[in-house]
Structure 1
Amino acid sequence: MTHLKVTYDAEANAAYLYFTDPAAPPTKVAHMYPCDPDRVDGMINLDFDGDMRLLGVEVLDARAKLPQYLLDAAEPLNRGNA
């Protein structure tokens, strides 16, 4: 089974779903494509590398957009200790 890394910042209500190999060195985002906030009723950003491979998805207003079980299982981000 493949495990998806998900982080969640409860204060910002923002989640990030990673589509990269956790064993590989981090890949720099070269292109960010914001989805139309009117069509998705919020803000969702798609991050791509230089070869246009999808690296991850940022979801703002995550509590309204993602299932609760995913947020419960996400790695919490504590901005106060960043």
Structure 2
Amino acid sequence: MHIEYDQENDTAYVSLVARIADGAAVRQVTVEAPGGKADLNLDFDASGHLLGIEVIGARAALPAELLGRDEPRG
């Protein structure tokens, strides 16, 4: 698993596989995260395997440690 965070746009991408080849993600499903403070785009391959998750509104949905931020929670 690998996480890339774009602080300027407050988006993160959680890769669940070592590498996602160009064109491998053929289906995307968008869901609202619990609490409605973030959206999740789920990327699937042709076999229905989940490849990765794009988190829009990452600061609201993911712990600061995962985003490389050291700010107190609370």
Normalising by structure 2, what TM-score? 0.79
Deviation at 1:43, TM superposition (A): 0.9
Q: Which amino acid aligns with 2:45?
A: D
Q: Unaligned stretches of 5+ in structure 1? A: 74-82
Give the structure, 1 or 2, with the largest relative contact order (CA under 8 Å, sep 6 or more). 1
Runs of 4+ in 1 over 2 A off after TM superposition: 37-40
Aligned-residue identity in percent:
33
Q: Cα gap change, 1:40/1:54 in structure 2, threshold over 3 Å: closer, same or farther?
A: farther
Higher helix share: 1
Q: Do residues 29 (structure 1) and 25 (structure 2) align? A: yes
Query: What is the count of residue pairs matched by the alignment?
Result: 67
Letter in 2 for 1:12: N
Unaligned runs of 5+ in 2: 70-74
Over the residues paired in the alignment, what is the CA RMSD in angstroms?
A: 2.0
Give the whole-Å Cα distance in 1 for the aligned partners of 2:52 and 2:35.
17
Q: Calculate the TM-score normalised by the size of structure 1.
A: 0.72
